[in-house]
Structure 1
Amino acid sequence: MIQIGGKQLSLRDFEEILLHKKQISIDPQALEKVQSSFEFLKQFSDHKLIYGINTGFGPMAQYKISSENTLQLQYNLIRSHSSGGGAVLNPLLGRAVMITRLNNFLQGYSGVVPDLPILLADMINADLIPCIYEHGGVGASGDLVQLAHLALGVIGEGEVWYQGQLMPAAQGFELAGLKPLQIHIREGLALINGTSGMTGVGLLNIIRAHRLVEWAIALSALTNELMEVYDDHFSYELNIVKHHKGQNYVAEVFRNILKDSKMIRSRSEHLYNPENIQHDVFEDKVQEYYSLRCVTQVLGPVYDTLLHAEETVVNELNSVNDNPVVDVANHNIFHGGNFHGDYVSFEMDKLKIAITKLTMLSERQLNYLLNSKLNQKFPPFVNLGVLGFNFGMQGIQFTATSTTAESQTLSYPMYVHSIPNNNDNQDIVSMGFNAAQLTKKVIDNAYEVLAIQAMTLLQGVDYLNCQDLMSSKTRALYNSLRNIFPKFIEDSPMYKSLAKMRSWLEANAVSQI
């Protein structure tokens, strides 16, 4: 069981709760802090004008709300903003949003009744997830529409996922043995006013991107091995003079994967030896194509970008992102814009650009493997059948090319695409949830392209019959992947094999092989 509250929640903790469905508990001291915040808000707001307690919302904050209508105001806010469109989010994403919102409340600055974080924790443990829609939030006053749908489920309305099945919220609560939330003072505003939508999706993106980068390094190493490249481009000596953490990390992993390969060549042995250079024209390239030779320089910035995104979005996970902020220690309530999603939006845009570049590298390596005039080692399309009669990997290359092109187009940043709305109250917005969702799509695409590259590499290994010469790690990788995608000679539909390979890459880490 993982305890939330009273400490920083790490990406590892988040992953354990989200993907491995570890049960959660709430730190008692954090819950006491929530109670103190709630009591202070009730006392402080008496005979004062406090936004979202006894006023309207957004540009209608100038209108005072009578005391007999303040609770209904919270329900009106939730219901009116449950206006999302597009696809229903996968329940895994809804679960991610719930974890991030719960962690926000346990900071003790939201003025909510302790019943709310307790219920959120119980819902997460029971796998009772409100139905959230992908379209609606502009990421400025928080993820208003997405979080309104979260709130709608919490008060027992709308639809929920219960253990993977979509159903009316009332039915889901009954099956889970839980009761919906009763509003006490400002729980409606507290639920919908924050960055938890984009942060939850963003954290899942980061988890998936970490695994993706490791696969890109491994498949790049295998590609280099089959092409029997020279060893200096991933050497310690070459990379250490470039002072970037990511580049040197990629080079180190590369060396570790290929350290006992009998196919990688030494430049000193082959090209610095006078006996081997008695020609005016050499069949082998003195330097490999960039998609093979510059892997550390291409994937290094991707890794560095991922690390920075992780730091920033985990900081957001552990931040207070409400408005207003109920500050018990300073006996005050502060109004501002902590709900603004620029930090997450900017990181998601940078991450999707980086992942698109990773995808482009994979697609170029794939093209190199499939083009016999470039690699001068394999038959066209690594065809193990009869040339002209069979087609090898020809058809599936189109999928890799079109998918990469889509990611290139999707990589236009949302961060600079602000559109004023809300009667111009929200005159500059982050579009953070859109940014996180587009990054998710780019990561989806990357796994698809890498799956096609992996399938092609397996065919390449069988064509060369080089298993005994491969490094121990690439041979283990080959054996694992061949269990997913068997060798083929005769043509057959590949779409099911692609889906299977992609799912396997997403579910398994290179380090587990």
Structure 2
Amino acid sequence: MIDLSAEKDLTIEVVEGILFGNQEIKIDSKTKQKVKQSYEFLKGFAENKVIYGINTGLGPMAQYRIDDDKLVDLQYNLIRSHSAGAGQKIPDVYAKASMLVRMRAIMQGFSGIHPSCLELLETLINADVYPFLPEHGGVGASGDLVQLAHLALVLIGEGHVTYKGEFRLTKEVFKELNIKPIEVKLREGLSLINGTSVMTGVGLVNVIKAKQLLNWSLMASVMLNEIVMSFDDHFSVILNSVKKHEGQNKIAESMRLLLKDSELIARREDHFFSGNVDERIFKRKVQEYYSLRCVPQILGPVYEAVESAIKVVVNEANSVSDNPIVDVENENVYHGGNFHGDYVSLEMDKLKLAVTRVSMLSERQTAFLFNSKINEILPPFVNLGVLGLNLGMQGVQFTATSTTAENQTLSNSMYVHSITTNNDNQDIVSMGTNSALLTKKVIDNAYQVQAIEMMALIQAVDYLDASSKLSTSTKKVYDELRNIVPKFVEDTPFYEEIANVVDYLFNNNVEIPKE
């Protein structure tokens, strides 16, 4: 059980525990009281005042006053009219993250909505009841209006949810679990749909899985360096410390720790600096290809991009993105634009570029393994069968190449693709929801490319009969992957093995040792 409080920020570790550790949550009574006070204050403060979304129309129709006897109808109309998304269902874990972020915003007591909203979100998260959230609809300002309307639709007992893997009517699941819809009293509709919760929820999963992918890419890179028995100076302290980038030095440090007890990594001093080299044309490479030698310089910026994205998305998750903001302490209501998703949108665009770079590195390393003329130690396509008769892993390279190419196209920015909408009321928007969802797609693709490289790596280790000489860290990965996929000698379909390795990589983090 994870205790949540308005006074305590979410951390990425807490989020990971809730989303992937099956941890239930409990909101403390002090926080629930704070939400109630916010509601009670707004209810009294709103009398005889004009407050957006309570007694006015919405968006460009804000100039129209709403009669007192129609105020609740307005909130229901807002939820139902904006439940207008299209496309595929956002997967459950991303929907769960979105609920968590929306709940966190309400917990802080600046929303002025009925406490039943907070309590129902807590119940649904713990019961693993996930609202149908469509991929398409949000422009990222006024937040995730369309997707969050679908969430609010569930909270009023309508729409659809996924429960125990089944897509069902909300009212049926609520009846089965004895769950009551929220009480719509004042501005529940506007507050629930007016925020950045979906782009931020998707962003939280993205940063968790991007960091995990980076670790797998790092592990693949060190294993590849072992396979070719590369020199150790390119990840040495001295070489990397003359560059002042934190990420580069962090990656180089991790490489040193991962390879600490490897029997395959060479020292340049024992070869080219020995004074006994008489060759005119060197059989041993003086320097490796960039995809092996420049790993700290390539993955270093990725490390920093991931860490930056974690900071921004966690900050957004701990923010209040409503409009207006209800301030109980100063007894006022402030109108503005906290729903604007620029922070998340820009950061997801940057993360998307970084993850695409990881998939490009993985694809190039795979190409190196498959090209016998370049690596000069392996058969073409790491073919352990009869050359010519058998084709080895030739087919999987097409998948790696095409998937990487798709990532390169998807990495074009959403942040700079604002389109005016809402009768020109929303004249510049963030497109943060699209940016987060496209980043999700890029991450999913990158795991596929990474899985193919991991399969090629362990195949290469088997050909060289080098498993006993691997470092402790890479040997552990080798053993785990060999339990998932067999050694390929005869030609066989690969698609099931690729899917199994993708699933393993996506659902498991690799351990990176620390000093």
TM-score range, shorter chain: over 0.9
2:429 maps to which residue?
429
- 1:22 maps to what in 2? 23
Which deviates the most, 159-168 or 338-347?
159-168
Question: SS of the counterpart of 2:420?
Answer: coil
What is the distance in 2 between the residues matched to 1:484 and 1:177?
42
Q: Which residue of 2 aligns with 1:254?
A: 255
Tell me what 2:151 maps to: 150
Q: How far apart in 1 are the matches of 2:206 and 2:258?
A: 26
Superposed displacement of residue 509, structure 1: 1.5
Secondary structure (helix, strand or coil) at the match of 2:130 reads strand
Matched residue type, 2:227: L
Task: Note the 1:211-360 alignment, pairs <5 A.
Answer: 211-275=212-276, 277-360=277-360
Q: Secondary structure at the match of 2:483?
A: helix
Does 1:362 pair with 2:367?
Answer: no
Could you report, residue by residue, the CA deviation over 1:7-54 in whole angstroms, capped at 9, with x for unpaired residues? Answer: 101111111111222111112221121111111111111000000000
What do the CA deviations read for 1:275-321 (whole angstroms, capped 9, x no partner)? Answer: 1x212211222111000000000000001000010001100000010
Partner AA of 1:68 in structure 2? D
> 3-state SS of the aligned residue for 1:12?
helix
2:473 maps to 473
Check conservation: 1:226, 1:460, Cα contact below 8 A: yes
Secondary structure in 1 aligned to 2:511? helix
The answer for unaligned runs of 5 or more in structure 2 is none
Q: Is the 8 A contact 2:248 2:297 kept in 1?
A: yes
CA contact under 8 A between 2:258 and 2:512: conserved in structure 1?
A: no
1:65 and 2:66 are equivalent in the alignment: yes
Number of residue pairs the alignment of both structures matches: 512
1:55/1:63 contact within 8 Å kept: yes
Per the TM alignment, residue 257 of structure 1 is displaced from its structure 2 partner at its CA by: 1.1
8 Å contact kept, 2:19–2:96: yes
Shift of 1:494: 0.3
Is the aligned partner of 1:445 residue 2:445? yes
Identity of aligned residues (%): 56
Say whether residues 1:197 and 2:216 are aligned partners. Answer: no
- Post-superposition shift, 1:376? 0.4
Q: CA deviation at 1:468?
A: 2.1
Who is 1:127 aligned against?
128
State the shift of 1:222 in Å.
Answer: 0.3
Post-superposition offset of 1:263: 1.0
Alignment of 1:379-398 (within 5 A): 379-398=379-398
* Preserved CA contact (<8 Å) 1:126 1:163: no
Query: Counterparts of 1:304 and 1:283 in 2: how far apart (Å)?
Result: 37
Q: Greater CA deviation, 140-149 or 10-19? A: 10-19
Structure 1 unaligned regions, length at least 5: none
User: Secondary structure in 1 aligned to 2:269?
Assistant: helix
- 2: CA distance, partners of 1:39 / 1:354: 46
Q: Could you tell which deviates more after superposition, 385-394 or 243-252?
A: 243-252
Deviations 1:158-187 (A, max 9, x none): 111123221001001112221111201000
TM-score normalised per structure 2:
0.98
Q: 1:43–1:311: structure 2 CA closer, same or farther, 3 Å change rule?
A: same
1:504 maps to 504
Amino acid at match of 1:224: N
Q: Which residue of 2 aligns with 1:414?
A: 414
Match of 2:188 in 1: 187
1:218 & 1:476 partners in 2: Cα distance? 11
Aligned ranges for residues 67-146 of structure 1 at < 5 Å? Answer: 67-146=68-147
3-state SS of 1:256 partner: helix
Say whether the 8 Å CA contact 2:254–2:512 is kept in structure 1: no
How big is the alpha-carbon RMSD for the aligned residues of Structure 1 and Structure 2?
A: 1.0
Q: Does the Cα contact within 8 Å between 2:131 and 2:160 map onto a contact in 1?
A: yes
Please state whether the residue corresponding to 1:484 is helix, strand or coil: coil
Q: Provide, for residues 123-182 of structure 1, a one-character-per-residue CA deviation record: whole Å limited to 9, x for no partner.
A: 111111211111000001010000000000110001111232210010011122211112
CA distance in 2, matches of 1:474, 1:512: 10
Q: Aligned pair 1:400/2:394, yes or no?
A: no
* Contact preservation (8 Å) 1:351, 1:439: yes
Q: Distance in 1 between matches of 2:305 and 2:271?
A: 37
5 Å-filtered alignment, 1:40-55, equals 40-55=41-56
Quick one: which amino acid aligns to residue 206 of structure 1?
V
Paired residues of 1:309 and 1:348 also in contact (CA < 8 A): yes
Residue 391 of structure 2 aligns to a residue whose secondary structure is coil
How far has the Cα of 1:512 moved from its partner? 8.9
Opposite residue 251 of structure 1, the aligned amino acid is A
- 1:128–1:176 contact (8 Å) kept in structure 2: no
Displacement of 1:80 in angstroms is 0.2
Tell me which moved more, 126-135 or 364-373. Answer: 126-135
Pairwise CA distance, 1:445 = 0.6
CA distance in 2, matches of 1:508, 1:313: 22
- Dislocated runs of 4+, deviation >2 Å: none
Q: How many Å apart are 1:89 and its aligned residue?
A: 1.4
